[in-house]
Amino acid sequence: MHTPAYLISFEQHQYLNPLAGPDFRELFESSPGLYLVLYPDLTIVAVTDAYLTATMTIREEIIGHGIFEIFPDNPADLNADGVSNLRASLNRALATKKTDTMAVQKYDIRKPASEGGEFEVRYWSPFNVPILDEKMEVKYIVHRVEDVTEYVNQKAEESRQKILTERLRHLTDTMEVELMQRGRELQNLNNALEEANRELKIKTDELQRSNDELSRFAAIASHDIKAPFRNVGGYLELIKKKVEGIPDEELKKAFEKISSARYRISILLDDLLKFSRVASSSESFDKVDLNEILANVLKDLEYNIKEKNARIFVPAQMPVVQGYSFQLGQLFQNLIANGLKFQNGQEPVIDINVQQKDGFYQFSVRDNGIGIDSRYFNKIFVMFERLHDQEEYAGTGLGLNICKRAVDNHHGKIWLESTPGQGTTFYFTLPE
Ligand code: ADP
């Protein structure tokens, strides 16, 4: 659809007598529309006040100047195409003599020099109307614009918001999916964990049961053997008195062997009883003062210590821990007794130490004895495992197993360092 060309001449109206009719120039200039009138050579002829206001220009400064001299492209906008688009549209209007409507243009406007002369972003909806004279030649072009900056900005903001909302929705969807996936993974993990816990509980219960059974068996066995064994001892004492006067070397030796076997059996029975107490879960968890425990252990070993002329170094202050008093006593007793026992003739020196670490205590019992080859570090903690025969070093092979069980029952660790011929250090940890 084409807007018809208007047949108006400004010059004609200039000479009109004011009394004869309206002042068309004044009327035109105060029109609310944004109009700029150009000669075909694109020089500005007339302009409305509204146009001047919208473009921050002054009539006297623009009349007579070329439109592109007054309205150049914003040099800071490398993509600015306002000038070239407008020129093309004006040329089309001149050539076709028909109104040329332009798409919305970004055409920035320079602020007056008094306000810094910077360019301001503006959007316009322009159209160019050729005004023809009687000979149907283009006499003027009316360049009419509408400032659509606010609308464009609003639209841009709307689309920005839309994009943002879209992005947000996408993000929310993705997060929702991820959350669901994570949730499902977590659920699976939880199920697996529950299953593992169930299995662990079954295994722990089984272990506890077998420990309890072992402990009961050891207790009953040692207890049941003890009664007849005491009888054997009583009769042995009786026989001893009878054979004492008989000068028979073979009989004497046999008798000595029986005596030492009897002694070993009594030690074994004692150890079995101790083992049964450590292996069972009957003892209660209490506050245990390790100063007291150590003092009692050293008292029990007093004869042994004196006999061997041993020196034992203990910390000035031992901690108080939560634990099983009997088991902790056995732990220190067995380690110190082993330090006294596994010697090669030298006077035993045993050094006990404790260090506070992060949430637990680390104890050490060091001796200057025969040492242990690292090949046997694991083996020695197994029940009845011994590295020497009875003639060399007497024992039952239960001591370190008792230690290991005692430390395990306190959720600690036990290990050792050793140099054969120089000595051994046992370490263990207990929770604070
Ligand atoms: P036992 O002392 O009754 O033989 P243990 O279970 O206490 O049994 O020790 C197992 C073995 O570990 C011992 O027979 C010995 O060979 C070795 N052993 C334990 N403690 C020491 C030590 N402090 N120095 C050298 N060897 C040791």
Q: What token pair was written down for 75? A: 């040099």
Mutation pick for ligand 1 pocket among 349, 385, 386, 424 (CB with most ligand atoms within 8 Å): 386
159-to-150, 155, 167, 232 alpha-carbon distances in Å: 14, 6, 12, 104
Q: What is the enclosing helix (H) or strand (E) of 132?
A: strand 123-132
* 400 Cβ inside 6 Å of ligand 1: yes
Of 257, 241, 421, 426, nearest in space to 343 by CA: 421
Query: Which residues is 312 bridged to in the sheet?
Result: 350
Q: How far is it, in rounded angstroms, from Cα 233 to Cα 229?
A: 6
pLDDT at 3: 38
* 423 Cβ inside 6 Å of ligand 1: no
Residue 288 clears pLDDT 70, i.e. is over it: yes
pLDDT at 238: 86
Region 181-195: mean pLDDT is 89
Residue 176 clears pLDDT 90, i.e. is over it: no
Return the amino acid letter for 213. E
Q: What token pair was written down for 202? A: 């079954």
* 338 Cβ inside 6 Å of ligand 1: yes
Number of alpha carbons in the 13 Å side-chain half-sphere of residue 381: 16
Mutation pick for ligand 1 pocket among 278, 349, 380 (CB with most ligand atoms within 8 Å): 380
Mutation pick for ligand 1 pocket among 372, 383, 398, 416 (CB with most ligand atoms within 8 Å): 372
Q: What token pair was written down for 316? A: 């000035």
* 404 Cβ inside 6 Å of ligand 1: no
Mean predicted lDDT score pLDDT of the chain: 89
> Which protein residue's CA is at the shortest distance from atom 14 of ligand 1?
386
260 Cα–ligand 1 center, Å:
20
Q: Please state, for a pLDDT cut of 90, what percent of the chain lies above it.
A: 56
Any residues with CB less than 8 A from the CB of 398 and at least 6 apart, and which?
271, 272, 274, 275, 383, 384
Residue 20 clears pLDDT 80, i.e. is over it: no
pLDDT band for position 1 (50/70/90)? very low
392 Cα–ligand 1 center, Å:
12
pLDDT at 295: 96
DSSP SS3 for 218: helix
105 Cα–ligand 1 center, Å:
97
Strand order in the sheet with 349-356: 311-313, 349-356, 360-367, 423-431, 414-419
The residue ranking higher by pLDDT, 338 or 180, is 338
DSSP SS3 for 329: helix
Any residues with CB less than 8 A from the CB of 121 and at least 6 apart, and which?
106, 108, 149
Q: What token pair was written down for 67? A: 């439109």
pLDDT at 19: 59
140-to-34, 55, 66, 91, 297 alpha-carbon distances in Å: 16, 21, 13, 12, 121
Region 277-299: mean pLDDT is 88
pLDDT at 249: 85
Is 298 in contact with 305 (CB distance < 8 Å)?
yes
pLDDT at 73: 92
Rounded to 5 degrees, φ, ψ at 111 are: -70, 155
pLDDT at 18: 54
Residue 9 clears pLDDT 80, i.e. is over it: no
400 Cα–ligand 1 center, Å:
7
Residue 201: exposure state from Cβ atoms within 10 A (0-12, 13-18, ≥19): exposed
* 331 Cβ inside 6 Å of ligand 1: no
The residue ranking higher by pLDDT, 245 or 119, is 119
